[in-house]
Amino acid sequence: MKNNTRTLADNFIAPPCHEKIQVLHEDESLLVINKPSGLLSLSGKNPANKDSVHYRLVQDYPGACMVHRLDFGTSGVMVVALHKSVNAHLTKQFQTRSITKNYLATLLGHLSDDVGIIDIPLAKADFPYQKVCYSTGKPAQSHYQVLERLQDPENETKTTRVLFSPLTGRTHQLRVHSREIGHPIIGCDLYGLTIDGVDSQLLADRLMLHACSLTFEHPETGEKICMEST
């Protein structure tokens, strides 16, 4: 199984991403950027997957360190350390969950509750999937708030815009949690569902998940930094 997993990972070729990385904040310690959808956070082992957030940034910022990642299809705010000491400080903030992250997502269907917490443990499955596992999975909680319920006037497809605030940071957490409550994220190629004849993956040409805000303590100044991207 490990060999099969390695083969799948090595054979994945990311399509070219022509969008640029937007720098939202820059100082001597760190960068805050807006990552485009369709760009890897780190370069893959396959030489064809050289292009990534890290690869692009080190051209101009040789000391850039990736403190965290966003999925290939996810866009939005990321913080990047420019020194090892800053990287260690920010990494500790992520580990202690003192960093606040919010995401905008569009889900298939109308959620019945305006707010809620999805509490479903997750574990690794065959690459690249995660699975629900109540015996060996790690705790995973996602808070959500409904922003808007929409309905397409032409085909009557119902969707819901939500604000996610993950309380934990498991791989694919928001994608799996959304699917498990019967409302997959639009455009998700891994955890989509067909509901009432509507295939959630086919409703958008990208994953409709955007990291809209990130709040953290500046490692050097101690200042509370809140960066947003709509």
pLDDT tens digits, one per residue of 20-34: 999 999 999 999 999
H/E stretch holding 174 reads helix 173-180
**How do 122-124 and 130-132 pair as beta strands?**
antiparallel
DSSP annotation of 183 reads -
Mind telling me the catalytic residues?
Answer: 71
User: 18 and 36 in contact (C-beta within 8 Å)?
Assistant: no
Q: What is the pTM of this model?
A: 0.93
Domain with CATH 3.30.2350.10 in the chain: 2-99, 103-209
User: 34 and 229 in contact (C-beta within 8 Å)?
Assistant: yes
CATH match of 2-99 with 3.30.2350.10: yes
Residue 12: pLDDT band (50, 70, 90) is: confident
Average of pLDDT values for 164-175? Answer: 96
Residue 218, C-beta contacts closer than 8 angstroms, at least 6 positions apart: 29, 30, 224, 225
Spatial separation of the C-alpha atoms in residues 20 and 145, rounded to whole Å: 30
Q: Which CATH topology does 103-209 take?
A: Pseudouridine synthase (3.30.2350)
